[in-house]
Amino acid sequence: MGQRFRLSDIVGRFGGELIGDGEITVSRVATLASAEPTDISFLSSGKYRQQLEHSRAGAFILGKNDHDATEKPRIVCDNPYVYFARVSSFLNPAPSAEPGIHPSAVVHEDALIHPSASIGPYCCIGSNARIGENSVLGASCVIGENVAIGSNVRLYAGVSVYQGCIIGNDCIIHSGAVIGADGFGIAMDQGKWLKIPQIGKVLIGNDVEIGANTTIDRGALDDTIIEEGVKIDNQVQVAHNVVIGAHTAIAGCTGIAGSTKIGRYCKIGGSGMILGHLHIVDHVDISAGTMITKSIEAPGAYTSIYPFAPHREWLRNTAHLRHLNELAEKVRQLGKDIEALERKKS
């Protein structure tokens, strides 16, 4: 069991209104259904209120509308989900790492590593690379020459950062991510593909999180840019020269083609596909599975996925879709015929 904290201490740190016994202690955040008496749980949607009534949690995080939904100790706040996230981070800090360089790591003599940084087993760090204060590199990370990594950055095992890329402060990059591989630049020359050198970099701002096995390609000429606060899920492909605006969130298996610019505070659902050389303004929500083929010039929600249905029904609907153009032409002709009939009557 982890360290236990009083509710009064949690409210003192994060605010909110404490109702009930502030001396009760909790050590873990859990769901309403699985919580035990030493856990704190939360209710962020009314559809789970019945679970609240039967939950064994010792305390709850509730919204103001659910102020009196239980008699157990509770913290009432404006946004229970955000409050839960803060409490969960507090109760589950990142694993600590001892400063220093593991004996098996290979570090170029020109690399600059802050004494408080932790370099794990079998890491390889190139010439003139810079690793900032309190940053942690897990086992087998590969850091290319002239890479700059800021302070309080955590790279989990097996992350590769190619030459010249820059990573800001307070970033998290998960295992298997590749930052700065060549973009897919090729030109047809006399029946053969000719590789176009990718000479830009990847620039990553502060407080960015990048999921496992995500790949962010370096720019062809200009840089690929990930602005501050961006959150990218697992297995996302970001192509060369893409710009992703601050605080945008991108779910897993999304693909973004080259030179597209995505605005600030956008949300892209899983398996979204965005074609190249497009511009998407700030505050755009793209539904899961949607393909974006044109630039988006107005904020709002966009969806293109065809709704699922039983297979036979889907086949019938798809067959109709194939003939939409013919149907539209018939409707236009029918309109002309009706107009002609009306003229005759008049």
What are the pLDDT digits (tens) for 167-196? Answer: 999 999 999 999 999 999 999 999 999 999
* Residues facing residue 143 across a β-bridge: 125, 161
Both 79 and 30 in one domain: the answer is yes
Per DSSP, the residues of 287-326 read -TT-EE-S-B-S-EEE--PPPP--HHHHHHHHHHHHTHHH
**Residue 119: pLDDT band with limits 50, 70, 90:** very high
CATH number of the domain where residue 133 is located: 2.160.10.10
The phi-psi region of residue 13 (left if phi > 0; otherwise alpha if psi is between -120 and 50; otherwise beta) is alpha
For tokens 């309190």, the residue is 134
Last residue of a domain, which of 58, 91, 124? Answer: 91
Both 221 and 324 in one domain: the answer is no
Digit-coded pLDDT (tens) for 267-304: 999 999 999 999 999 999 999 999 999 999 999 999 98
Contacts of 16 (CB under 8 A, 6+ apart): 61, 75, 76, 77, 83
What average pLDDT does the segment 57-69 reach? 93
The one catalytic residue in 240, 277, 311, 320 is 240
Residue 67 is part of which domain span?
Answer: 5-91
Both 276 and 131 in one domain: the answer is yes
The two beta strands, 25-26 and 5-6, are antiparallel
pTM of the model: 0.89
Q: Which of 227-241, 300-314, 327-341 has the highest mean pLDDT?
A: 227-241
Per DSSP, the residues of 47-75 read GGHHHHHH---SEEEEEGGGTTS-SS-EE
Both 174 and 290 in one domain: the answer is yes
Q: What local confidence, expressed as pLDDT, does residue 297 receive?
A: 98
Both 205 and 291 in one domain: the answer is yes
Q: Answer yes or no: are the C-beta atoms of 268 and 289 closer than 8 Å.
A: no
Q: How far apart are CA 39 and CA 29, in angstroms?
A: 6
Q: Answer yes or no: are the C-beta atoms of 284 and 302 closer than 8 Å.
A: yes
pLDDT over 80 at 106, yes or no? yes
Q: What local confidence, expressed as pLDDT, does residue 1 receive?
A: 55
What percent of the chain lies above the pLDDT cut of 90? Answer: 83
For tokens 């004494």, the residue is 115
Both 122 and 260 in one domain: the answer is yes
pLDDT over 80 at 137, yes or no? yes
**In the chain, how many domains are there?**
3
Both 180 and 285 in one domain: the answer is yes
Last residue of a domain, which of 38, 68, 91? Answer: 91
Q: Answer yes or no: are the C-beta atoms of 35 and 52 closer than 8 Å.
A: no
Q: Answer yes or no: are the C-beta atoms of 259 and 242 closer than 8 Å.
A: yes
What percent of the chain lies above the pLDDT cut of 70? Answer: 99
Active site (annotated) includes residue 240: yes
